[in-house]
A and B are shown apart, each in its own frame.
Chain A
Amino acid sequence: MNLLLPAPLLIPLLCATLSLLGRRAVGVQRFLAVAGCSLNLVVSACLLYVVDNDGIQVMQSGSWPAPFGISLVVDRLSAIMLVLSGLMGAAVAVFSLAAMDRHRPKFGFYFFYHTLLMGVNGSFLTGDLFNLYVWFEVMLMSSFALMSLGSERAQLEGGIKYVALNVLSTAFFLAALGVLYGMTGTLNMAHLATIVRSAGNQGMLTTVSLLFMVAFGIKSAAFPLFFWLPASYHTPPTPVSAIFAGLLTKVGVYALIRLFTLVFVTDAAFTHLILLVGAGLTMLTGVLGAAAQTEMRRILSFHIVSQVGYMIMGLGLLTPLALAGSVFYIVHHVIVKTNLFLVAGVIAFRTGTNELIALGGFVRTMPWLALFFLIPAMSLAGLPPLSGFFAKLMLIVASFREFSWVVAITALVVGFLTLYSMTKIWNEVFWKPMPPASGEAMAKVPWSVRDRVCLFGPIMALALCTVLIGICAEPLFGLSERAAGQLLNPDEYIRAVLAGAVRP
């Protein structure tokens, strides 16, 4: 356990360091990326197994007891998120072997890839709010670098929008941290949870919680501050946008779930209503924005926004079923969305573009790709028996039980509109005859067996996950329910962090 718990931080750090030292040897970096990320996945899966059976695991780094040192805490939600980050890291690393050009690794692509994963894992592991801020920074710095690496014109334009909004959100986060620390004198989340309940100035506390909500709302691309995401995610190379799409916004959602189940539950009627309304609007604006787009990755980016709405909706309802739905939805969404970006990446690899108008005929030229697009796309829209159906079902049932008609109906309508967007991509990219220009472009690009294995391997693996989650939803459903149970009873978390702290 002692070695297992910090491993999701130490493995990426080691791989990043070695990639930096071997920056001229692209082959070594590629090997490190695949090996390191696979190891990370295995370690995270072990952690999930341990946490699910033996309860919350805590490590006080530097042996400093809890409110004073930095605690690393893994509960079920953290462990699930770690497994997802490990899975996406490994899938995209394999994909990048073929899809990433040869010069970006020399300028540190894999270094930043590992530090990005380290930042993401750190955010899931930490039990300290200021430390969470630090991991957000690690993640953001790496993502800035990944976003602009290569310095293409579109990339830099997208990068500026991305940086501006994220720096703003960081400023909100820091301000909120300052106020909260001034009020309570601690930033350890478990300690905060005990103090906040008996804090005198509840009105001020609600205000601070709204500051946090704005900060994490920007990070998770929730309404109304989501527009940085579709403006930037389609600009970098596919492996970068796939890992961003899979993980980064979900870190924001994770932080929202963590804070608004553990710490800020004292004024739930007010704060969670705002979350619920925000969730509904996020879903709607995201899906409507997607309807107007004509570029594959832009459509998918807008759908990230709309899907984030579903995850926050579960948090806003704050019932066991709804929270379980949120957790289930995150698992489903991360897998499916990364998969769709990877499919877009294969298409960009073959034709050099993702513009709908320049594409077509892929159902004839690459029937397998069409199938592997259809699985995640239908899952995203929520068609049974795929993973998205159960995720949406849980959330919608939960909202009907709470008599939240408006948000339930919004969720249903958004599901239909998602189907519309996916059909649009299907018609344009796969069904209509291919324009001759892109057919010629396709003939020119080499398409070796190695490329096929590296590009299709991750896509098939993720599609298999989607189907498996759909067909046997019960194990994941049970796990999400247990995770939600743990979130709604923070006593176990608090006891694990604070009691484990008293070491002889």
Chain B
Amino acid sequence: MGSLILRKATRYLFPVIMMFSIYLLLRGHNEPGGGFVGGLAAASAFILNQLAFDVPSTKRLMNVDSLTLIGTGLLIALGSSVFTMLDGQPYFSSHWATLRITSDWQLLIGTPLIFDIGVYLVVLGVTLAILLSISNFRKSPS
């Protein structure tokens, strides 16, 4: 892909897509969205970068191995589900805490969000692991 337009556009689109993916992740609890679709959106940002540039630069951009991403995500999701078992409730029971910022601004933070972050990382990792290895495979024989 040698398109100058695509490369230029990717530089601007990449942060926008990443922000949108995080928006989707945070929005997920009450409205359509969540870790799965957020992770897919984030993966699409990296795939766009890979189409515009190449695999090595995308790997540099990611900075971590996609398999490590999967592992970390699984650990976070597992932790969020086990955490609630400590006070005698079934696993995956949700716990919520309110974070007061000002008197009428408060943030509701709970274990489902942590679980979603784990899912986000797993989906991102799996998608990238598959797609990057496929695109590597195509290049290697030549």
- Which of A's residues lie within 8 Å of B, judged by CB? 2-3, 6, 10, 13-14, 16-18, 20-21, 23, 59-63
Name 24 A/B residue pairs within 8 A (Cβ), A-sorted. A2-B85, A2-B88, A2-B90, A6-B90, A10-B78, A10-B82, A10-B91, A13-B78, A16-B74, A17-B71, A17-B75, A18-B71, A20-B67, A20-B71, A21-B72, A21-B75, A60-B90, A61-B91, A61-B92, A62-B90, A62-B92, A62-B94, A63-B92, A63-B93
**C-alpha gap A13/B77 in the complex (Å):** 11
B89 in contact (CB, < 8 A): yes
Report whether B88 and A21 are in contact in the complex, using a CB–CB cutoff of 8 Å: no
B70 in contact (CB, < 8 A): yes
B136 in contact (CB, < 8 A): no
B135 in contact (CB, < 8 A): no
Report whether B71 and A61 are in contact in the complex, using a CB–CB cutoff of 8 Å: no
**C-alpha gap A14/B82 in the complex (Å):** 11
**C-alpha gap A23/B66 in the complex (Å):** 12
Residues on A with beta carbons closer than 8 Å to the beta carbon of B68: 21
A13 in contact with B74 given A2-B85, A3-B85, A21-B68 (CB within 8 Å): yes
* Interface majority SS (helix, strand, loop, mixed), chain B: helix
Residues on B with beta carbons closer than 8 Å to the beta carbon of A20: 67, 70-71, 74
**C-alpha gap A10/B82 in the complex (Å):** 8
- Which of B's residues lie within 8 Å of A, judged by CB? 67-68, 70-72, 74-75, 78, 82, 85, 88-94
Report whether A61 and B78 are in contact in the complex, using a CB–CB cutoff of 8 Å: no
Give the 7 A-B residue pairs with the shortest CB-CB distance, closest first: A62-B92, A21-B71, A20-B71, A17-B74, A63-B93, A61-B92, A59-B90
Given contacts A10-B82, A18-B71, 11 further A-B contacts (CB under 8 A): A2-B90, A6-B90, A10-B78, A13-B74, A16-B74, A20-B71, A59-B90, A61-B91, A62-B91, A62-B94, A63-B93
Residues on B with beta carbons closer than 8 Å to the beta carbon of A6: 85, 90-91
Report whether A61 and B90 are in contact in the complex, using a CB–CB cutoff of 8 Å: yes
Q: Chain A residue with minimal CB distance to B111?
A: A62
Q: How many A-B residue pairs have CB under 8 A?
A: 44
Q: Chain B residue with minimal CB distance to A3?
A: B85
Residues on B with beta carbons closer than 8 Å to the beta carbon of A62: 90-94
Residues on A with beta carbons closer than 8 Å to the beta carbon of B78: 10, 13-14, 17
Report whether B67 and A23 are in contact in the complex, using a CB–CB cutoff of 8 Å: yes
Residues on B with beta carbons closer than 8 Å to the beta carbon of A2: 85, 88-90
**C-alpha gap A60/B92 in the complex (Å):** 9
**C-alpha gap A427/B100 in the complex (Å):** 79
**C-alpha gap A480/B105 in the complex (Å):** 60
Most chain-A Cβ atoms within 10 A of its Cβ — which of B67, B90, B93, B94? B90
**C-alpha gap A7/B23 in the complex (Å):** 34
Query: Smallest Cβ distance from B84 to chain A, in angstroms?
Result: 9
Query: Smallest Cβ distance from A387 to chain B, in angstroms?
Result: 36
**C-alpha gap A198/B132 in the complex (Å):** 53
Query: Smallest Cβ distance from B71 to chain A, in angstroms?
Result: 4
**C-alpha gap A17/B122 in the complex (Å):** 11
Q: Chain B residue with minimal CB distance to A71?
A: B90
**C-alpha gap A112/B38 in the complex (Å):** 26
**C-alpha gap A59/B84 in the complex (Å):** 14
Residues on B with beta carbons closer than 8 Å to the beta carbon of A14: 78
Q: Chain B residue with minimal CB distance to A60?
A: B90
Q: Chain B residue with minimal CB distance to A61?
A: B92
**C-alpha gap A353/B105 in the complex (Å):** 71
Residues on A with beta carbons closer than 8 Å to the beta carbon of B89: 2, 63
**C-alpha gap A2/B70 in the complex (Å):** 28
**C-alpha gap A20/B70 in the complex (Å):** 8
Q: Chain A residue with minimal CB distance to B68?
A: A21
**C-alpha gap A377/B71 in the complex (Å):** 42
Query: Smallest Cβ distance from B45 to chain A, in angstroms?
Result: 24
Query: Smallest Cβ distance from B75 to chain A, in angstroms?
Result: 5
**C-alpha gap A60/B85 in the complex (Å):** 12
Query: Smallest Cβ distance from B122 to chain A, in angstroms?
Result: 10
Query: Smallest Cβ distance from A21 to chain B, in angstroms?
Result: 4
Residues on B with beta carbons closer than 8 Å to the beta carbon of A3: 85
Report whether A63 and B70 are in contact in the complex, using a CB–CB cutoff of 8 Å: no
Query: Smallest Cβ distance from A6 to chain B, in angstroms?
Result: 5
Query: Smallest Cβ distance from B132 to chain A, in angstroms?
Result: 16
Query: Smallest Cβ distance from A68 to chain B, in angstroms?
Result: 13
Query: Smallest Cβ distance from B100 to chain A, in angstroms?
Result: 26
Query: Smallest Cβ distance from A497 to chain B, in angstroms?
Result: 13
**C-alpha gap A62/B92 in the complex (Å):** 4
**C-alpha gap A60/B93 in the complex (Å):** 9
Q: Chain A residue with minimal CB distance to B93?
A: A63
**C-alpha gap A298/B68 in the complex (Å):** 38
Most chain-B Cβ atoms within 10 A of its Cβ — which of A13, A16, A17, A59? A17
Query: Smallest Cβ distance from A263 to chain B, in angstroms?
Result: 24
Q: Chain B residue with minimal CB distance to A23?
A: B67
**C-alpha gap A14/B74 in the complex (Å):** 8
Q: Chain A residue with minimal CB distance to B88?
A: A2
Residues on A with beta carbons closer than 8 Å to the beta carbon of B92: 61-63
Query: Smallest Cβ distance from B20 to chain A, in angstroms?
Result: 28
Query: Smallest Cβ distance from B125 to chain A, in angstroms?
Result: 10
Query: Smallest Cβ distance from A498 to chain B, in angstroms?
Result: 16
Residues on B with beta carbons closer than 8 Å to the beta carbon of A17: 71, 74-75, 78
**C-alpha gap A474/B93 in the complex (Å):** 42
